[in-house]
Amino acid sequence: MDAIAIDGPAASGKTAIGSALARLLGYRFLDTGAMYRAMTWAALRQGIDPTDPVALGGLAESARIEVGAVEDCDEATSVIVDGQDATTHLRDAEVEANVSLVSRVPAVRTALVRIQRKIAGSGRVVMAGRDIGSVVLPDARLKVYLDASREVRARRRAEQMRQNGQAPDVAALIDELTRRDDIDSSREASPLTAATGAVIINTDEISIEEVVRRIAALARG
């Protein structure tokens, strides 16, 4: 399987690094987090309680999900759910607040992992998420785990929000990242963890460009 798995907590740089790496190597890029965000958006849009695992599982199993590359958008992966484009809603505040609740549901993860593996089987791919190396693509030829302190991740997320015309509260962002980290690392299905054999890179003091160069060197062997 010609796949590169990139995992890590929220705002650790997975999407920016993964998409840049894919462009450099000529691979397809998939941000699996966008798929979970899209499912969260679809659930909220349909009035489904994000703490209702039965309803969420039913939605994930029945939904028709299409993913692709994005141009002229802040997102690296587009997601269409049952014909409705969720891409511009993936960073909505309500989606941000509930995506970890939706993504911890085993039935949701099972449905989306099935799609992710199908994509990986269709050709060379860089795939980013929380459980790519450990669950989705355990046979990926290269596994990377990106990490960073919550303070650094909060500052990055704040800068992203400023670029979108929002006024972030960094302290509140740190609290939210703490909450999401706790949910992601303690969930029953596919908890956030570095996969066996993964190369761990702390990005606190390293530029995106340098991290991409390091991973590309590993990929090229």
Q: What is the pLDDT of residue 53?
A: 98
Q: Look up the CATH superfamily of 3-207.
A: P-loop containing nucleotide triphosphate hydrolases (3.40.50.300)
Q: What is the pLDDT of residue 75?
A: 77
Q: What is the pLDDT of residue 6?
A: 98
Q: What is the pLDDT of residue 65?
A: 97
Residues composing the chain: 221
Q: What is the pLDDT of residue 160?
A: 83
CA dist., res. 55 & res. 40, Å (int) = 12
Q: What is the pLDDT of residue 49?
A: 98
Q: What is the pLDDT of residue 161?
A: 85
What confidence tens digit (pLDDT) does each residue in 97-141 have? 999 999 999 999 999 999 999 999 999 999 999 999 999 999 999
Q: What is the pLDDT of residue 70?
A: 77
What confidence tens digit (pLDDT) does each residue in 62-81 have? 999 999 987 655 678 999 99
Q: What is the pLDDT of residue 17?
A: 96
In which residue ranges of the chain is pLDDT below 50? none
